Amino acid sequence: MAVPILGALTNLVKRVAPNVYISGLLDCDKAGEQFLRDGPSAETLVDIGCGDGEKTTVWWEGSRAKSCIGLEFVESEIAAAKSRGIDARKTDLSVRWPVADGECDVVMSSQNIEHMHRTMFYAREMFRILRPGGRAIVLTENLSGWANVAALAFGWQPFSSTPIDGDIIGCPLAHMADVKLDRFEMLTEAFEAGITGAAAHVCVLAYRALRDVMQKSGFEVVRYGSTGYAPFWGAPSRFLCRIDPRHGHFLAMEARKPF
C-alpha cells in the first residue's frame, strides 16, 4: 500500500512543486521590492549575504538609496559585487558585522536568516546597524508552511530543512521542487573558515517564531505576510495567503527600529 501512495504523491509533486516553489519565491521577492518602494528614499541600504550583487542591485534600485553596502564572505563574490558599485565587505555573519552602529536606514535579509546558527544575534545586529526609524526587510522560508507540515506527517524532513551541506536530504520529494543549489566549490572558502551554515538551512523559522525573534530584538513589526500557499500558485495562492498567512511557504516581513 505504501508504494502506490508514494507513487501517487510523487506524480502530484512532480506536477505542482516547481510551480508552487518558484511562484512563491517570486512573489516573496516582489513583496520585498514593494516594501522597499513604499518606504521613504534611503541614504544607505545594507544587503546581508549579497553574493555577486546581481539581486542586490534590484533591492538598491527599489530602496532609492544613495549608497549600498553588501555583506559577503566569499572573495570571488565580493569582487563581483564591487564591480557593480556595491561597497561589499568581507563578513562572518556569526560575529559582529563590519558596519557601524546606525550606519544604514534599510537592511535587506533575503533567504538568509535560515542559514544562521545565531539567529537572535543576527536579528540584533540588524537592529544595531539601523538608524532609529530604519527598516529591516526579512524574506525567508516558513517552517509552518503546508508543504513542510505535510512532509513531517510522513516522517520526512520538512522541505525547507532539506538543504544540508550542499545536498538535499531527508525528503524523497524535495528535489522535484527544482530548487537551485549553491555551487559546492564556491562554498569551500566558507567551509574552510568554519562557516558551515552557508550550504544548509540551519534554523528555519515558523510564522510565529520570526515575529518573536524580531520583536525580542527590539523591532516593531510593520507588515507581515506569506507567499506560496501549497499546493496552489499564482492568484489562488496569493488569495489564500491573505486569508491564512501562517501557512504560506515563504515569509515576508517589514519591521522598524523605533525612534
pTM of structure = 0.92
Predicted local distance difference test score (pLDDT) of residue 179: 57
pLDDT exceeds cutoff 90 at 234: yes
Rounded to whole angstroms, the Cα distance separating 254 from 225 reads 9
Instruction: Tell me what percent of the residues of the chain surpass a pLDDT of 70.
Output: 90
Is pLDDT at 193 greater than 80 in this prediction?
no
How far apart are alpha carbons 46 and 242 in whole angstroms?
Answer: 29
- 93-to-46, 118, 150, 190 alpha-carbon distances in Å: 13, 9, 32, 11
pLDDT, tens digit, 9 for 90 and up, residues 44-77: 999 999 999 999 999 999 999 999 999 999 999 9
- Mean per-residue pLDDT over the chain, rounded: 92
Higher per-residue pLDDT: 51 or 198: 51
Residues 6 or more apart whose Cβ sits within 8 Å of residue 38? none
Rounded Cα distance between 204 and 144, Å, is: 9
DSSP H helices in the chain: 2-38, 54-63, 75-83, 119-129, 146-153, 184-192, 207-216, 234-243
In which band, very low, low, confident or very high, does the pLDDT at 196 lie, cut at 50, 70 and 90? Answer: low
- Domain locations in the chain? 2-256
For the domain spanning 2-256, the CATH number is: 3.40.50.150
Report pLDDT for 233.
Answer: 94
Q: What is the structure's pLDDT at 185?
A: 57
Return the closest-CA partner of residue 67 out of 114, 103, 109.
103
Distance of alpha carbon 15 from the chain centroid? 25
Higher pLDDT, 24 or 165: 24
Cell numbers describing residue 16: 505542482
Quick check: 132 and 258 in contact, CB under 8 A? yes
Average pLDDT of span 239-250:
98
Judged against a pLDDT cut of 70, whether residue 2 lies above it is answered with: no
pLDDT at 199 over 80: no
* 3-class SS shares of the chain: helix, strand, coil, % to 5: 45, 20, 35
pLDDT at position 177: 64
